[in-house]
Each structure stands twice: as C-alpha cells, then as structure tokens.
Amino acid sequence: MIESHLSLLIVVLPLLTAPIVAILPNGRAPWLISTLVSWSVFTLACMQLANVSTGNIISYELGGWAPPWGIEYRIDAANALVALIVSGIAAVIFPYALKSVEKEIPEQQHSLFYAAFMLCLTGLLGITQTGDIFNLFVFLEISSLSSYALISLGQQRQALTASYQYLIMGSIGATFFLIGVGLLYAMTGTLNMMDLAQRLPELYEHRTIHTAFAFIMVGFALKLALFPLHLWLPNAYTYAPSVVTAFLSATATKVAVYVMLRVIFSVFGFSFIENTPTDELFLILCVVGILMMSFYAVYQQDSKRLLSYSSVAQVGYMMLGIGFGSVLGLTATLVHLFNHALMKGALFMAIGALVYRVGSSRLEHLSGLGKHMPWTFAAIVIGGLSLIGVPGTAGFISKWYLVLAAIEKQYWLIVVVILLGSLLAVIYVWKLIETLYFKSENDSIQPETIKEAPLMLLIPTWVLVFANVYFGFNTELTVGTAEQAIKLLLPGVN
Amino acid sequence: MIWMSELPPYIPFFLAALLVLVTHGNVRNIILLATPVLGGLHLWLDVQPFVPMVATDVLVTAKELSYQVTVFSYQLEFMRVDKLSLLFGYLFHIASFIAIVYALHVRDTIQQVAGLLYAGSALGAVFAGDLITLFIFWEGLALSSVFLIWARRSERSINTGIRYLIFQVMSGVLLLAGALTYYHQTGSTEFNYIGIESTAGWLILLAFGIKSAFPFLHNWLTDAYPESTPTGTVFLSAFTTKVAVYALARGFPGTDLLVYIGAAMTCFPIFYAVIENDLRRVLAYSMINQVGFMVCGIGIGTALALNGAVAHAFNDVIFKGLLFMTMGAVLYRVGNINGSDLGGLYKSMPKTALLCIVGASSISAFPLFSGFVSKSMVMTAMLQEGHNYLWLMLLFASAGVFHHAGIKIPYFAFFHHDSGIRVKEAPNNMLIAMMIAAVLCIFIGTQPQYLYALLPWKVDYWPYDMTHVLAQLQILFFSALAFVWLNKQGLYPPELRSVNIDFEWSYRKLLPAIARVSYNLLHAVNNGATRVVQQSWQGFQLIFQASRLSKYHLASSWPTGSMVLWIGLILGGYLIVDVYFLYIDDH
C-alpha cells in the first residue's frame, strides 16, 4: 500500500498536516505534529531514493488518469535526490525550530507559523515530485506564497519590507515561468514533461519555442537567485527568522536549480540549448557572479547577510556545471546541490544558535562569543571549512568535480575563477572566525551572561556538521546517485 | 617491532597532538618526548628492514610497505618508502626531538599541539606517494605552522602570520591546480619525476618554489620566521623549506633552470644578511642561502649532486636549528635580539656562546664540521658538470656565509663591545637540546660515512682530500681577513636599527600606495561624474514633478526597480542574441 503510493504520500502528507496544524491551539502540539510528519516524509523519501537509485523510474498517475491527460508524478534519481535533500533538511530543522521559534516569534502566531512551514515544505516537495509542468507552477506558487509569509515573521521591522519586495520579484519570476508554459502549451498542446520532450524536437527552429524557453529560463534564474537576479535574496535571508533562513537557504534555491536542470535537459534537451546563447550566458553570469558576490560577502557587517551573499556565489558554482553540459559538470551540479544544502544549513543553524543567545546577527554584537559558546563556534568553523572546500569536507568533493569538469572543457579561466572564489571564501569565513574568537567582547551585550546554546539547537546543528564531514569521505550516495541521474538527463553520452 | 610496518609515520604525531590536548604537566612532557623517539625507532626497526639499503642509480620503492586508501575513486597513497623518503623521515624525527627538548619549558598548549601537527604533516608529506596526499599535508604544514607564529601573540606577529598564511595557501592552491592538470594530462596522480615540459609541471614547480623560497617568492620566510616565539622558530626552520627541497628532489631532479635559481638564491641574501640588525632575520636570510645550495644540487641532477643536496638538507636542519636555538636562548633571556643592543654576552652565557660557535663553524663549512661534508659535494658536482662561473658564485656565497652567519652572529651577540647586559645562562632543557645538535654537527663532520650510508643514490665520495680542505680553509681565512679589515677601517656596515627594503616592499608598500592613488583618482572621477549626473537628474526631476506625468510615478524602492531592470535586460538581450544564433544557423 505505502509502496505503491509512496510518491504521492510525500506531497500529500505535509499538505494535509498544514490545515490540521493551523486549527490546533498555540503551544507545543503544532510543533510536535510537524516534526513527526517531517520525519515520516524523510523516511518515505529515503525509501523512494532506494527504489530509483538502481536506475528504474517510478511513474505515478494521479487519480488514475493516464498521462498525458492526467497529472503524472515521475521520479528518477535526480528528483529522488532533491526530495531527499528537502525532506532531510526539514527533518533536521523541525526539532531545532522549537526553541528558536519560541524565542523569535510571538506565541499567538506559532500554529500559523508551522502551518505555513508545512505548506512551504509541500510546495518544495511537490516541485521535485511532479512530472507535469503546470502542476509544477502550482507547487511553485504554494511554496513561494508560504515563504513570503514565513519571511515576514522576522523580528525586525525590515522583515516586512524584505518579504514584500521578495513577493513582487518572486511573482514576476513565477509569471515569466507561466508565460513560458503558456507558450509551450499553445505550440504543443501538452503539459506533461515527457510528452513535451517528444513533441519539441520538430519545433526546435520555431521562434515561439525559443521565446518560451527564454521566459522560463529568466523566470527560474530569478527564483534560484542567479546573479544579477539575486537582489531579493540578501534582504529576505537576513531578516527572516533564523529557522526560516536555514530552511530556505538549504532547500529553496536548490529546488529551483533542479527545475532548471529538468527543463534544460529533460524537456528541451541539451542539443536545443547548444544552439542558443544559454550556456554562454550562464557561464558569463556565473563567473561574474562568483567573483562579485564573494567579494561583497567579505564586506558585510551582518553574519546572515554575509552568508547570503556567499549563497548567491555558490549558486554560481551549481549553474557553472549546467553551463558545461558535460557528465562531469552535471555531477558537480548535483553533488554541490546536496553538499551546499548541508553546509549552509549547518552554518545558518549555528548562526541561529548565536541569535538565540544574543538576539542579533550583526558582527559587532557577536565579537568574542566563540569562547562562551565553543560548540556553536566549532560548528561554524567546520561548516566554514566545508564552504571553502578544504579536503575532508563535503565542499571539497563538489569543488573537485567542478574543477575537473572545467579542465576537461579546457576553460582555464573558469578554473582560475573557481580557485579565486575559494580564496575569497577563506577571507569571509575567516572574518566570521576572527570576529567570534579573536576580537574582544562587546560590552553592550553583557558577555558574562552568555552561555552555550541549548542542546535542542546544538544537536540538529551538529547532525548537519557531521554530515558535512561524512559526505566528504563517503561519496557513494552523492556521486553515485548523481551519476545514475545523469544517465537519464544526458542520454546518449553514457 | 614497535608497530606494524605499514603504519604511516605521521599517525603517531597526530595522535600525540590529541593526547597533548587532554594531558598536562609531566605526563604531557613524556608524551611529547616519547613521540619522536618511538617514531624514529619505528622507522629504524620496522620500516628500514624492508628498504633495500644498497645505494643504486634509481630509487627503489619498498613495495611491501605501501599503504593506500581509496577515497572517492582516487587512490591516496599515505605510505611510500624508498631511501629518499626514509632519509627525510629520520631527519624530521631528529629535528622534532631536538625542538621538543628545546621547548620543554614552554607551557602553551597551542604551541605544543601545533608543533606536533606541523612535524606530523612534514612526515606525511615526505611519505606521500601521490600528489593529492602531498597536497593534503602541504596544506597541513601551512595551517599548523601559522599557529607557531601567532603564538607570540603580538599585533605584529598576527599580521605577519596572515601574510605568511596567504603565501602558503597560495602555494597549496597552485599545487592542487597542478595536480589536477597533471591528472588530466597523464591520467595518474602518482608523485614521481614531473619535469617542466607541461603546464602541470610549471604549476607544481611554482608551488614548490614558494615553499622553498625562490627569489621574489621568498619574503614570507624572512618576514615570518623572526616574528615567531624563540621555540617556534626552531620548529619552523626545520620543516617547511626541507619538505620543499625533498619535493623538488623527487619531482624536478636535473632541471637546468634550478641551477641558476639556486645560484641566485645563494648570493642575493648575503647582502641583506650583512646589513640586517635582527639576528634571527640574519639567520632567515642565511637559510635561503643554504637552500640555494640544495636547489643547485637538485638542478645539476647527477647522483653526486643530488646526494649532496639531500645531505646538505640533513645537515642544515641541524646546524641552522642549533643557531636558531642559540639566538632563541638569547632572546628568551635578554628579551631582544637586535645586534645593535647586544654584545659581551659570553660573560653571562658562556655555554650558549660556545654552542653558537659550533653552529657557526658548521654553517661556514669548516673542515671537521658537518657543513663541510655536504656542501663540498654540491661544489664538486658543479665543477664536474662544467658550470665554472656558477661555481665561482657558489664560492662567493660560501665566503659570504662565513661573513654573516659564521662571524657576524656570534660576534655581535656574544663578543663585540660589552653592552652591560647580565643575564642567567640558558635553561637546562635548552642547553641539552643545543648540545645534542652540536654533538651531531661534529659527529657528522668527523665521521661522514654514517650519513653517506643513508644517502639514496650510488656514488663514491670522500670529502677529506687535500684540494677540498685547502681550498675551503683559504676561503674561510680570507673571508675572516676581510671582516677584520673592514671592521678595523670602520667600513663594515654598522648594526643599526633600520628597515631594510626587500622585494616585499613592492607588495606591502608600493601596491597599496598605487591602489590608494588610483582609488582616490577613481573616487574623484566618480564624484565628478556623479555630480554631473545628479545635477541633470535633479533638473529632470524638477521638470518631471512639475508635469502631469508625475502622478503616474511608481514609488521606487531600490532593489525591486533595479531587479526589474535586470530582468528586462537579460530577457531582451537573450532574445536578441538568440535571434542572431537562429540567423547564423539559417545561413
């Protein structure tokens, strides 16, 4: 029973939980139910990945309507991996949320907060599961609308403005995507991705198809915060509640990168892309983005904003792999998708623990706290090493494949850019460490009252920190699944 | 049998570093002392029996001892033993033992842990069988050693440490880039002869060059080593440059370019060393000079020259360590190491003074001291290969060494005019460490056959013949004469508290100055442009607000407006280029 409806349950379970949580009284019940649901979804996602990691494909017909008329959920190794990331991060973050949310969000909004969080999870998982491009848009809107609500709950007043601006920009992106889908539908008469993939090749020369692709690509470039369409991201991540920042930074942009991957390689096919300026555009934007955003990160005065700019730079690494369009490049993209979720999740959660004790994420308020909160500090150090790409951490594996891919293509300039980016990462991570450990304490926060963060925050953070180290040595899950996924994304290469 | 033979030698050091973290007092001291002793015995009893000790023309790897780990489909070889790595393995164990004894009085966890990790990384690097493993320990050397510089805990040492780290990390990044390129070109990451025929070779050579202080890449050394603690510098002087010499000897033997680089390295530091006031910085310059001899030997590439290079590395660690130790003892007792402020210390520190003279004789290559038996090998090889002019340069450098290291160091610290400073003799543990080093200097100098037996390549050589001894003594005496005469005439550069400008001036002063000037210029241009634009924009706004259009003015908030502009630009630009692409396809 569960086996056959696995793919549907992953989406429906959080969807049904959301209204239940919303009507529960404020207290710990909403948190408890959400946590349990997130864990069961994670279990289901693990089972799903085990099913498809051998190379077979799950095709689930929603309501028994056969595709291309009905909605199809189509799972291969690529979706299963992304669904695993999203549900895995959720499963780690929900336990963490209890304390952090109690501190940062007024009591009367708790049940609504968890309901919105569940909806956001539904939307992100739905995007990964579905094989229908309009259905994807629907889930995109579910996740976006709920995340606007989540971001607006931040403590500072700027949170509302940040959320509002993200709403406007995000809606522009979603509309662009919808325009693209509409054009595709007008030309082919279908919304099923596999069906589209079959009908598109004969229309490759058609300008409408090119325009449709341009709209979809720009729309999602905005959602995944590709430089220079990243302007919504730093404000949104800085002012959102710590839990929301940790969750969105580890999942939202990753899911958008996945959609880009799916649209480019499964729906349109790389042979279409090669005859358009897309790959060149990606490479140029990524190179400029990596350098400029890393550089911006160095000059930030707020730890969350610093990491946000670093996120935009890291998105550049993921999109580089797509721009290469080679097996190694896509491996790097998928592996970095996974690893970046681990490192940014760990780092933002550790910053959240600092915010829990200090009430601010600005660097001047954090100076010298590393000595009072050694475990949180150690988590930031290890997460930071992974972000730099030091051997023995997950970050090294991603950089390694990316550099190999660039060398294979003989793009020497990009090799230099990747290494320069790592050097800049050393500087901004060092800035965090220097502030936390080597600067003297700021007296205005009464440092002697600061204690180590509670275990409820530390344990989930350290789970991700260990994952960073574990996946730095064992690459069977990440690289293995990525290779399996690429066999389907790039048929004919293998 | 101490441990199993395949155990890579860095592991005991890393474990000991962990143990040192959780222990203190005597237990910690015992762990510190036992690590290099047990590690050395491990090499001697467990590892050496598997290595063919007969010298041959090519290096023979002990196949039984290979220790490999597969990490994401790459073979990392943590243990690869032949006579070359074994020699450096012994050397690093001896050096770390001496340095640990010397630092035994220190109560500073950071320094002790960093010291062990640093020595362990050096061992890891010389036993690494592939470039990726080498890279891992290469970075390990950089990250652990920088704490020895920061351990001085002064503003100056923190800044110096960061500059040092930037150089070292740059070397690591180059090595990684080189390794990846090498893998791409050859399909293997094995670390054997590399050569400079390919891009990969150049990248790797540059990485090695930074660590072995090639000219213009050397400033991290003279910048950082004198800023460390008295004990930290002893560690620093032993490992980083010698690992680089090892790596050069394995990757680039017989590369002609290295002969010229090496010759330059022997000569240019002499001028700086003579005018430098900080006596530990004098030693740092003289270190570059000694590494120059080794690089020359590697560049020549004959069996005699290579043997000379590694033997000189072996001796240099010990006598340079001895000199750094004596200067460290002075710094520890007096709190100051400027030549201009010292003098007459032989009255209060007679033992240290005597040990310093032993070190000075060794570095000046007096017959019967260790420097003589190895330096003469490189010089002889130089002549055999017909590099007559370069040989003269090395001769000049040898005389220069005697000047700045052999005479200047002991003379200004312990003799010269009496500065009136009265202190206690160096602590016992320091004296013991210096004594061990001094005994080794004399032992190797008089009984070189034991060192020669360890040398990797097959060659028959004996340093004590008439020509060598006489030639060397002549150089030394004329050099001493020059020193005395210059001093008498008042021509010798006096010890002054001054700043000597080296190449680092170009990036510490010149570059920032250029950057400042161009920044100001840009700023002025920018200001002017902004003013013009602002004024015309304000004019436009006034007109706009007066007109009816202003009612339709959408409240602009910075990111959204700018973002929409970018969306428009990208979409529009993309579509135009796309049409152009389609057009090309059609034609």
- Per the CB < 8 A criterion, the answer to whether A305 and A431 are in contact is no
Residues 6+ apart with CB under 8 A from A93: A38, A243, A246, A247, A250, A345, A349, A460
Of B132, B559, B577, the CB nearest to A232: B559
Q: For residue B398, is it within any domain?
A: yes
Give the HSE-up count for residue A397: Cα atoms under 13 Å, Cβ half-sphere: 32
Biggest CA-to-CA distance, chain A: 71
Give residue A282's Cα distance to chain centre: 19
pLDDT band at B557 (very low <50, low <70, confident <90, very high): very low
Mean pLDDT lowest for which of A96-100, B245-249, B533-537, B545-549?
B545-549
| Cα–Cα distance for residue pair A291/A296, rounded to 1 Å | 9
Question: Domain residues for B198?
Answer: 1-252
Q: Is the dihedral of CA B320, B321, B326, B330 positive or negative?
A: positive
Flag if A275 and B136 touch (Cβ within 8 Å). Answer: no
Flag if B135 and A391 touch (Cβ within 8 Å). Answer: yes
Biggest CA-to-CA distance, chain B: 105
Q: Write down the pLDDT at residue B506.
A: 74
Asked if B196 and B277 sit in the same domain, the reply is no
Closest CA to A80 of A493, A492, A488: A488
Q: Write down the pLDDT at residue B72.
A: 63
pLDDT of B558 above 60: no
Q: Is the dihedral of CA A28, A31, A33, A35 positive or negative?
A: negative
Q: Min CA distance, B581 vs chain A (Å)?
A: 6
pLDDT of B530 above 90: no
pLDDT of B5 above 80: no
Judged on CB neighbours under 10 Å (0-12, 13-18, 19+), B540 is exposed
Which residue spans within A393-455 are E strands per DSSP? none
Q: Write down the pLDDT at residue A123.
A: 95
| Cα–Cα distance for residue pair B532/B100, rounded to 1 Å | 67
Backbone angles phi, psi at A72, to 5 degrees: -115, 135
- The A-side interface with B (CB below 8 A) comprises 161, 165, 168-169, 172, 176, 205, 207, 210-211, 214-215, 217-218, 221-222, 228-229, 231-232, 235, 275-278, 281, 390-392, 397, 403-404, 407-408, 415, 419, 422-423, 426, 438, 473, 475, 479
- The B-side interface with A (CB below 8 A) comprises 71-72, 132, 135-136, 139, 158, 169, 173, 176-177, 180-181, 184, 557, 559-560, 562-564, 566-567, 570-571, 574-575, 577-579, 581-582, 585
| Cα–Cα distance for residue pair B273/B339, rounded to 1 Å | 12
Domain positions in chain A are 277-494
Of A168, A228, A235, the CB nearest to B566: A228
Asked if B37 and B172 sit in the same domain, the reply is yes
- Please identify, among B449, B467, B490, the residue that sits at the C-terminal boundary of a domain: B490
What average pLDDT does this structure show over B324-348?
88
- Per the CB < 8 A criterion, the answer to whether B71 and A473 are in contact is yes
Count of domains observed in chain B:
2
Task: Output DSSP code: residue B75.
Answer: E
Asked if B219 and B346 sit in the same domain, the reply is no
* Residues forming a β-bridge with A59: A74
pLDDT of B11 above 60: yes
Which residue spans within A76-164 are E strands per DSSP? none
pLDDT of B84 above 50: yes
Asked if B214 and B307 sit in the same domain, the reply is no
Asked if B308 and B243 sit in the same domain, the reply is no
Asked if B263 and B244 sit in the same domain, the reply is no
Cis peptide leading into A228, omega within 30 of 0? yes
Give the HSE-up count for residue B145: Cα atoms under 13 Å, Cβ half-sphere: 34
Closest CA to A490 of A318, A268, A296, A298: A268
Cis peptide leading into A68, omega within 30 of 0? yes
Compute CA distances A285 → A230, A317, B23, B138, whole Å: 11, 11, 53, 33
Tokens of A107: 């009591």
How many C-beta atoms lie closer than 10 Å to residue B386's C-beta?
8
In our burial notation (b when 16+ CB lie closer than 10 A, e otherwise), range A63-74 reads eeeebbeebbbb
Q: Hunting for tokens 């690093």 — which residue is that? A: B92
| Cα–Cα distance for residue pair A483/B2, rounded to 1 Å | 44
Q: Write down the pLDDT at residue B510.
A: 79
- Cα Rg, chain B, nearest whole Å: 29
Q: For residue B556, is it within any domain?
A: no
Asked if B278 and B379 sit in the same domain, the reply is yes
For residue range B362-386, list pLDDT tens digits in order.
999 888 999 999 988 998 899 888 8
Asked if B211 and B298 sit in the same domain, the reply is no
* Residues forming a β-bridge with B76: B69
For residue range B512-527, list pLDDT tens digits in order.
888 888 888 888 888 8
Q: Write down the pLDDT at residue A43.
A: 93
| Cα–Cα distance for residue pair A300/A260, rounded to 1 Å | 29
- pLDDT digits (tens), chain A, 494 positions: 567 788 888 999 999 999 999 998 888 889 999 999 999 999 999 999 888 887 788 888 887 788 778 888 888 888 899 999 999 999 999 999 998 988 888 888 898 999 999 999 999 999 999 989 999 999 999 999 999 999 999 888 888 888 998 999 999 999 999 999 999 999 998 999 988 988 888 888 888 899 999 999 999 999 999 988 888 888 899 999 999 999 999 999 999 999 999 999 989 888 888 888 888 889 999 999 999 899 888 888 899 999 999 999 999 999 999 998 888 999 999 999 999 999 999 999 999 999 998 888 888 888 888 888 889 999 999 999 999 988 888 999 999 899 989 988 888 899 999 989 998 998 899 888 888 888 777 777 676 778 888 888 999 999 999 999 999 888 888 888 888 888 888 876 54
Q: Write down the pLDDT at residue B556.
A: 39
Q: Is the dihedral of CA B101, B107, B113, B114 positive or negative?
A: negative
Q: Write down the pLDDT at residue B554.
A: 37
- Please identify, among B213, B228, B252, the residue that sits at the C-terminal boundary of a domain: B252
Compute CA distances B489 → B399, B435, B480, B507, whole Å: 20, 37, 14, 37
pLDDT band at B59 (very low <50, low <70, confident <90, very high): confident
Tokens of B76: 């990392």
Flag if B578 and A276 touch (Cβ within 8 Å). Answer: yes
Chains A, B: CB pairs < 8 Å: 92
Q: Write down the pLDDT at residue B495.
A: 66
**Mutation to test the A interface, candidates B176, B189, B206, B579, most A Cβ within 10 Å:** B176
* Residues forming a β-bridge with B422: none
pLDDT of B108 above 80: yes
For residue range B472-483, list pLDDT tens digits in order.
888 888 888 888
Tokens of B70: 């597969």
Q: Is the dihedral of CA A51, A52, A56, A59 positive or negative?
A: positive
- Per the CB < 8 A criterion, the answer to whether A296 and A228 are in contact is no
pLDDT of B555 above 50: no
Q: Are strands A72-75 and A58-61 parallel, antiparallel or unpaired?
A: antiparallel
The predicted complex's ipTM stands at: 0.80
For residue range B122-176, list pLDDT tens digits in order.
999 999 989 989 999 999 999 999 999 998 888 888 888 888 988 898 899 899 8
Q: Coil, strand or helix: which one is A132?
A: strand
DSSP secondary structure, B386-416, as one string? T-HHHHHHHHHHHHHHIIIIIIIHHHHHHSS
Give residue A149's Cα distance to chain centre: 18
Helices (H) and strands (E) in chain A, counts: 20, 2
Q: Which residues of A touch B564 (CB under 8 A)?
A: 169, 172
Residues 6+ apart with CB under 8 A from B64: B5, B50
- Per the CB < 8 A criterion, the answer to whether B145 and B151 are in contact is no
Flag if A422 and B173 touch (Cβ within 8 Å). Answer: yes
Q: For residue B567, is it within any domain?
A: no
Asked if B283 and B412 sit in the same domain, the reply is yes
Q: Write down the pLDDT at residue B336.
A: 84
Q: For residue B546, is it within any domain?
A: no
**Mutation to test the A interface, candidates B21, B70, B72, most A Cβ within 10 Å:** B72
